[in-house]
Amino acid sequence: MESTIVKSVNYNAYFGDNHVVKDVNIEIPRNTTIAVMGPSGCGKTTFLRGINRMHELIPGATAKGQILLNGEDVMEMHPIFVRLKIGMVFQRPNPFPNLSIYDNVIAGYKLNGIKLPKAEKDTIVEHSLTRVALWNEVKDSLTKKGSFLSGGQQQRLCIARAVAMEPEVLLFDEPTSALDPISTSTVEELFHELKKNYTLIIVTHNMQQAARVSDRTAFFYMGELVEFDDTKTMFTNPKDIRTQNYITGRFS
Amino acid sequence: MSVAIKYRIGKSTVFQALVMVLSFACVVPLIFILIYILQAGITKINWHFLTNLPKPVGETGGGIANALVGTSIIIATASVIAIPFGILCGIYLSENKNSKLAYWSRLCIDILQGVPSIVIGIVAYFWLVKPLNGFSALSGSVALAIMMLPIVVRSTEETLLLLPDSLREAAYALGMPFHRVILKVIVPCGISGILSGVMLSVARITGETAPLLFTAFGNPYLTTDITKPMQSLPLLIFNYATSPYNDWHDLAWGASCILLIWVLLLNIFTKLITRKWKVQL
């Protein structure tokens, strides 16, 4: 298997005339955890949303360049296939409020009209919830609505929902910024587990988090990818002065 | 305490009292109407009244079965026409907030809401009654459907706009196509608001008389054929209340009472549905 799973070639993204991601070239190896950090408005979230073509859902948003998934350009693929292979978890937990916990986990199948035998569904639900360390907490209340859970549990439910589709890549858009510290550390521990099976790309505002959870870190500034290196190297010996200034807290 | 502060407290008290008195005053007309119509009409309602046709002048008794059946059929037909269009248009408006088409259809819907019902009746008359050479329940239903449309569209749109974007994103991120996002996520989450809009629009057209005057026209006999003239409660009230016969006045009072109870029940039912099916976001 090829070691690069996601690769961007001269990727540019725009909101109308506003050029928010500029010529990003990056190669992301399989089964690694990538942290994407940078100050607000640096284009990191937009780049992330470009990977599974969520960017284009915003009116006026356009993109140029290539995003390759296993060597195949996602811009040429139907967005639905792209999003089945590249799962996403958002900043705020967003379980479907009309569905039970059980149905939330298999929402990707259920709402897409994919019929599965009951036994298989049960397996997927248990397996996915176990993966996100939520099974023991909710196994007795699977029929309750997803919104009945706490914020941290909801976020793990959303991760389970993405995991249930068995994607190759999981995108996280500041997944812990709406969570309390304890839930945050639970989710961070999850990343270590999930990385065994998936490639994780995590946009984060929090440098400590990037340092804690990732193998490699990408630093975005003003829409450009300034530096992409091993997390350790990046935090101990950054090459670019802008990275250095950001890490040492001279701007944020 | 200084005079200035006392004066301010006094003003505040007067204002509070004013707010209370005036809001109570809003309820008074409704209470009077209810009492008046119930007093005059409730004694006329019995099984015979509900299941019999009106008697010719000079004979006592008789009922409003034809109007009950007619109203039900006309409203059901209008709903079948207006609800799908209304909900789909509402979905379009909420999903494409800023498109040109949305701007213009929103404008048209708002104007349509302000068009007097008699004008809509005339339009239905020229579109359907004249070309088809005859009054029909169907033409009345079309007129009523046009009146329902703005209410359904606007309530659907407003309900769906309240749903957070994160919900749509969650659905799209799972690889769902547009129609499934709408049908499986957006509509189910907003169903209580959509339904309450639908019910209120039904309540609204139930009492409409003007558009039916020269479309459904009225009919002293029972019919279920929507291509024929049909009786309806508001038409019956209009015709019988303005007649010189006491027996017919009684029928009109009874019918008014039924109409009022129907609208009241529909409103209560709407409240219940909204509460029961409300999706906690």
- Which of B98, B172, B174, B186 should one mutate to test binding to chain A, selecting the residue with the greatest count of A CBs within 10 A? B174
Q: What is the pLDDT of chain B when averaged over all its residues?
A: 91
CA torsion through residues A22, A23, A27, A31, sign: positive
pLDDT digits (tens, 9 = 90+) for B114-143: 999 999 999 999 999 999 888 999 999 999
More confident residue, B212 or B56: B212
Place domain A4-93+167-247 in its CATH homologous superfamily: P-loop containing nucleotide triphosphate hydrolases (3.40.50.300)
Task: Say how far apart CA B217 and CA A68 lie, in whole Å.
Answer: 67
Show the tokens assigned to A186: 């639970």
- Confirm if B192 and B104 have CB atoms less than 8 A apart: no
Compute the nearest-CA separation of B185 from chain A (Å).
7
What is residue A167's predicted lDDT score, i.e. its pLDDT?
A: 92
Asked if pLDDT for residue B58 goes beyond 80, the answer is no
Q: Which residues of B29-59 are buried (b: 16+ CB within 10 A; e: fewer)?
A: eeeeeeeebbebbeebbeeebeeeebeeeee
The CB-side HSE value for A54 (13 A sphere, CA atoms) comes to: 28
* pLDDT higher than threshold 60 for residue B70: yes
Residue numbers in B near A111 (CB within 8 A): 171, 174, 176, 180, 184-185
Residues of B whose CB is below 8 A from A49? none
Interface list for B 171-190 with A (CB within 8 A): 171-177, 180, 184-185, 188-189
Q: A190 with A135: CB under 8 angstroms?
A: no
pLDDT: which is higher, B58 or A134: A134
Confidence band for B97, pLDDT divided at 50, 70 and 90: confident
Q: What is the pLDDT of residues A144-191, one digit of tens each?
A: 988 889 988 999 999 999 999 999 999 999 999 888 888 899 889 989
Rounded CA separation A197/A175 (Å): 19
How close, in Å, is residue A162 to chain B by CA atoms? Answer: 7
State how far the Cα of A238 lies from the Cα of B258, in Å rounded to an integer: 81
Candidates A59, A84, A147; nearest CB to B175 = A84
Q: Report CB contact under 8 Å: A98, B177.
A: no
In terms of CA atoms, which chain B residue is nearest residue A167?
Answer: B174
Instruction: Note the pLDDT of residue A1.
Output: 46
User: Using 50, 70 and 90 to split pLDDT, how confident is the model at B194?
Assistant: very high
Q: Which residues are registered as beta bridge partners of A169?
A: A86, A199
pLDDT (average), residues A97-123: 92
Average pLDDT for chain A: 90
- What average pLDDT does the segment A87-102 reach? 92
Task: Return the domain boundaries, chain A.
Answer: 4-93+167-247
Output B58 or A18, whichever has higher pLDDT. A18
Give the closest of A52, A94, A165 to B170, CB-based: A94
| Banded model confidence at residue A2, pLDDT cuts 50, 70, 90 | low
CB-based contact B146:B120 (threshold 8 Å): yes
Q: Which residues of A touch B (CB under 8 A)?
A: 52, 54, 57, 59, 79-84, 87-88, 90, 92, 94-98, 107-108, 111-113, 145, 147, 158, 161-162, 165
Largest CA distance in chain B: 81
**Interchain proximity A94–B98, CB inside 8 Å:** no
Q: Sort A94 into a burial class: Cβ within 10 Å, 0-12 / 13-18 / 19+.
A: buried
With contacts defined as CB-CB under 8 Å, which chain A residues touch B172?
Answer: 54, 57, 83
Helix, strand or coil for residue B62? Answer: strand
pLDDT of residue A252: 59
Q: What's the pLDDT at A195?
A: 87
Question: Searching chain A, which residue's CA lies closest to the CA of residue B281?
Answer: A97
Q: Would you say residue B106 has pLDDT above 60?
A: yes
In terms of DSSP bridges, do strands A4-15 and A86-89 run parallel, antiparallel, or are they unpaired? unpaired
Q: Which residue in B164, B174, B279 is closest to A108 by CB distance?
A: B174
The three-class DSSP label of residue B209 is coil
CA nearest A84 in B: which residue? B175
A and B: number of Cβ contacts within 8 A = 72
